[in-house]
Amino acid sequence: MPPLAIRRSAAAHAIARNIGLVLVIFLLLFSIFLYGLIYGLTEGRLPGGFELTSTVNNTMPLVLAAMAQTLVVLTRGLDLSVGGVVDLANALGAISLGATPARMALASAFILLAGAGLGLVNGLLVAYGRLQPILVTLATLSIYQGLAIRILPQPGGAVPEGYTALLTNTTFPAALLYVVLLGLFWTAFRRSQAGIAIVAIGNDEGAAAANGINPLRAKLLAYTLSGFFAAAAGLFLVATATAGDATTGNGYTLTSIVAVVLGGVSLFGGRGSAIGAILGAFVTTMIVNILFFAHIDPLYQSFYEGAFLVIAVVLAEGLGRFVRGRR
Amino acid sequence: MSAAPSLEAITASKAYGGVQALDNASFSALPGEVHALVGENGAGKSTLIKVLGGRVRPDSGTLRIDGAKVVLAGPNDAHLLGCWTVFQELTLLPWMSVAENLLLRREPRNVLGLTSPRRLVAAAEGVLEKFGITEIDPRALIEDLSLAARQVIEIVRALSHEPRILLLDEPTSALMERETAWLFAQIRRLRATGTTIVFTSHRWHEVETIADRITVFRGGRDVGSFTTLAEEEAVTLMTGQRVETFYPPLPAAPSARADAMLSVADLAGGRLAGVSFTLHQGEILGVGGLAGHGHRELFLMLFGAERPHAGRILLRGREVRLRSPRGAIRNGIALVPEDRKTEGLLLPLSVRDNLTLAVLNRLSRFGVIGRAAERAQAARLMARLAIRAPNAAIPVGTLSGGNQQKVLLGRWLLADCPILLFYDVTRGVDVATKHEIYELMMELARSGSAILFYSSDALELAHLAHRVLVLREGRIVAELPARDLTAEQIVAAAMRERLAA
């Protein structure tokens, strides 16, 4: 037979396959380097344990939101309601987290389930209603935000200290443990029937169906899990802020998409990994940190953030093409 | 044979929009039988295969498997009854590996129900080896495989389920000779174990080689089943009329003084290792050879879709750089590709929109398309090319393959491109449409177009080109004149080295 497929080493295949992941690791290392440089120049010393802890703690909500977004983007959808679910979880957390551990656990579990339920609503409308994901989640974003404001009209409420300490320890980067756990969860999920089904329908829904995969069920699961992780992001947010605010979550819709794109997950579905998106979340935080220590006027912050993002994405795309062209 | 049929469709009908794809069609196949379905594009073969495989539910009619009436709600139901299909439009997942695709939904798992890349690759190696495939890397992404390799994977996946009934819809249209021989060996092995095999093909010699029985389809209906059938008879049954001369006469070769329309000097890049030739006005220049020896690169470079590493392209003696298909079209070069679904047509758009796409500038005033002119042009072309569609507003995606190819041809006809690149345009196209395409080629050559014509069918080249260049390993290894040229000569030139070895 003529050569059908060039044989390559397992490592070469792994790199070609995970090129997005390789790129985001480079991006993260570069932004950490830049951050260290600017921090050193302005503060006269290198960033240490405290900076690491606060960075990880501040990024946790985005890490979870990126996880949520990845699951939906892999199905070739988009979940704009992530910010709304974060708001709702935030508001619910502020009013329901009591003083005792049992009460905290109960309230947390309820909020996570509520998030999953909100995601399920999205999933039902997209899968069984056969509606456009953007349309559905744009509508539910407004609805969920409205509900959050109704629950917590003014910023306030109280988060017990124990809860904050458990999720976001300020002296030790304990939250890194959660990041690792999320990475492990993703690795296992990607190897499960359900995970494979989600990636498969993002590849080609018709082909997946011809292979006996139920696309509707896979979508339903992706949106439900997305709601669950977005709610977890809201809980982390309320824990770091130590009080609730029903509007701080709004930004997570866009930043979660940014993290996903930086992490090499294709917006066309079927390609990419949540680990990339998690690293993308950290890159996003590092950009904000760099701007802060470079003493950029906060008024212009979003201008520079945008500029940095465009450069990063163009760079990633160019490098990706270069590597693909070489093989 | 006295055995009971293992697979039956009784008076099955299926309509898509206004098109009756299956019209009270009946079909039956016996255990241990290789049963060929033949007919023109749009005759209902693919629809029947989809109905039998559970992919499409018939509007009416009965299915029986092993004599028992069944209702297939989806492919899964068919799979449970041991009935597996290789669909014409492949159902592989492009951004997943060969291993993941082969073992989809039956991945080797650990106690937690999780699979792993290592387990997948090991199991896939085993599957591929079992069917004698060693060239395909199970770690490779489907996206990176040739069409032939994808087709092989699709077939291996169906075979690995040890089907009792195997349905193959044009399995060989993407395959070269060696892979086809491999497939036939697999089919013979399955036949010996009592498996029912149903397949469709447009290549008559394949049908003759492997089929125990042939059922002819026309217009959505079965028009007869035969254990032996001569090609002429089959064509008559398929078309409902006799096709007198299959290959139309070639117009006189252009004189040596004819204008050089396109010259290529030392063109190289990808698998192309440096080729030079000149294409004259009114000439049909054939390009032959085995797949994967640089033909594709050559055509894509001439259409501006790929950049050469070295060499020059001259149009009427003037050097040009083709940076994009847009640039090529502006220079009067048009490409009619093999895989029209992905390379040429906008399937959800109407026949009319697809026909006039390349000339919208000409039909527009101040950026607004003149609808009346567009309608008139489209209607003229549809009549001239005998495009079989209920109307010009129907999406191209709903037409049969041969008619889609005609729409694409019509587009370039309208654009008046003097240089036409035909890349395996008749692959997977039925006999009658092939004939129409040939006639059209001759007409274009006669009216002064210059045609560069690649075909995987050496017989076609031998009959339809003024001379044939044979490519091997990216170089021209032979230039054969049309006079008394045979397909065997072309194939021999393409493989000379191998034969000598």
Q: Which pLDDT tens digit goes with each residue over A206-255? A: 999 988 899 999 999 999 999 999 999 999 999 988 889 999 999 999 99
* Interchain CB contact of A200 with B (< 8 Å): yes
Write out chain B's pLDDT in tens, 501 residues. Answer: 457 899 999 999 998 866 788 999 999 999 999 999 998 767 889 899 999 999 899 999 999 999 999 999 988 999 999 999 998 777 999 999 999 999 999 999 999 999 999 999 999 999 999 999 988 999 999 988 888 899 999 999 999 999 999 999 999 888 888 899 999 999 999 999 999 999 998 788 889 999 999 999 988 899 999 999 888 788 778 877 655 557 888 888 887 777 889 999 999 988 888 999 999 999 999 998 877 788 889 999 999 988 999 999 999 989 999 988 888 888 989 888 876 655 677 777 888 888 888 777 777 777 777 788 888 888 888 888 888 788 888 888 877 777 888 888 888 888 788 999 999 888 777 777 888 888 888 988 988 899 999 988 778 888 899 999 999 888 998 898 887 787 778 877 776 654 443
Tally C-beta pairs within 8 A across A and B.
Answer: 99
Query: Where in chain A are the domains?
Result: 2-326
- Identify the residue whose tokens are 């059209």: B440
To the nearest whole Å, the CA of A13 is away from the closest chain B CA by 7
pLDDT at A1 over 70: no
Mean pLDDT of A277-297: 92
- At A327 the pLDDT is 43
> What is the predicted pLDDT for the residue at A2?
40
Contacts of B223 (CB under 8 A, 6+ apart): B216, B217, B237
Which residues in chain B are closer than 8 Å to A13, comparing Cβ atoms? 97, 137, 139-140
Inform me whether the C-beta atom of residue A324 falls under 8 Å from chain B C-beta atoms.
Answer: no
User: Contacts of residue B92 in chain A, CB cutoff 8 Å?
Assistant: 207
| Mean local confidence (pLDDT), A295-316 | 83
Q: Which residues of B touch A210 (CB under 8 A)?
A: 55, 75, 87, 91
Q: State ipTM.
A: 0.91
Tokens of B28: 């039956």
Instruction: Please say if the pLDDT value at position A59 is more than 90.
Output: yes
CATH of domain A2-326: 1.10.3470
Q: How confident is the model at residue A319 (pLDDT cuts 50, 70, 90)?
A: confident
d(CA A314, CA A138): 27
d(CA B232, CA B242): 8
Closest listed residue to residue B306, CA positions, set B295, B297, B314, B315: B297
Task: Count Cβ atoms within 10 A of the Cβ of residue B300 and give its class: 0-12 exposed, 13-18 middle, 19 or more buried.
Answer: buried
Asked whether the beta carbons of residue B139 and residue A13 sit closer than 8 angstroms, the reply is: yes
Question: By CB neighbour count within 10 A (0-12 exposed, 13-18 middle, 19+ buried), where does B212 fall?
Answer: middle
Q: A4 and B74: CB-CB below 8 Å?
A: no
What's the pLDDT at A324? 61
Kindly state whether A210 is in contact with chain B, defined as any CB-CB distance less than 8 angstroms.
Answer: yes
- For residue A95, the one-letter residue type is I
Q: What 3-state class would DSSP assign to A175? A: helix
Question: A211 to chain B: which residues are within 8 Å by CB?
Answer: 75, 91, 104-105
What is the three-class DSSP state of B94? coil
pLDDT of residue A6: 56
Give the global pTM.
0.77
**Are A199 and B96 within 8 A, CB to CB?**
yes
For the stretch A142-174, pLDDT in tens is 999 999 999 999 998 888 888 888 888 777 778
